Amino acid sequence: MLKKKKKLIVGFSATDSRHVGKEAILFSQMQVTEYNSGLVPSEQMDAGLIDQQKKMQLLIERINPTIIYTTPAEAKRILDMQLENTYMNITDHNILRHLEQKNGSDKYILLVITTNDLLRGIDYRGSVGIDLILDKQFAGVREAQQALHRVGRNGDKCRRFKTNKNLVSAGMAV
């Protein structure tokens, strides 16, 4: 008779999608024991709905470092405004982990992001708090949840905003 060896598998996720679809089936088959790290569930992280005027006000005033996820056309329009201390699709962790830097400006950093790759797996940090503006819809719920979790980690202050009622293009509200 062969003895089955038990294996310990450790996995980390910033989303709670393990309860739906293929991941739920896999977790069930593997008889997974879960440990909850105490992260705030995404349904408690709703972003406040804002209009275009409020969006522009947040981008110009920047009382906090600001990240905006938007379309390439809107990104061009924002960059054409020549707002100081503005970066587009950067990956420099010295900046991303210290968004409170003003770099000789009187305004906090503005990150303009057009690809959702920069809203997965990166912990944006700012000791003064961060504003996240979601101005573009996501292809799926998981991508939207990942984006919402990019700010407000490790006890950092944050505010989340969206310019469209549905963050997911399929019409599912997040």
Rounded Cα gap, residues 48 and 107, in angstroms: 23
* Tens of each residue's pLDDT in the chain, 174 residues: 556 666 655 555 555 555 555 666 665 665 655 544 444 444 445 678 999 999 999 999 999 999 999 999 999 999 999 999 999 999 998 888 899 988 888 999 999 999 988 988 887 888 899 999 999 998 888 888 888 888 887 788 999 999 988 888 754 455
79: amino acid identity, one letter: L
Count of domains for the chain: 1
pLDDT of residue 76: 97
157 close to 150: Cβ distance less than 8 angstroms: no
**Is residue 3, in this structure, part of any structural domain at all?**
no
User: What is the token pair recorded at 152?
Assistant: 């407000």
**Is residue 85, in this structure, part of any structural domain at all?**
yes
**Is residue 133, in this structure, part of any structural domain at all?**
yes
**Is residue 26, in this structure, part of any structural domain at all?**
no
- Residue span of the structural domain in which 135 resides: 42-162
pLDDT of residue 103: 86
Q: What residues contact residue 140 under an 8 Å CB cut-off, 6+ apart?
A: 168, 170
pLDDT of residue 30: 59
**Is residue 138, in this structure, part of any structural domain at all?**
yes
Which domain CATH number covers 148?
3.40.50.300
**Is residue 75, in this structure, part of any structural domain at all?**
yes
**Is residue 14, in this structure, part of any structural domain at all?**
no
Instruction: Specify the 3-state DSSP secondary structure of 159.
Output: strand
Rounded Cα gap, residues 90 and 45, in angstroms: 25
**Is residue 49, in this structure, part of any structural domain at all?**
yes
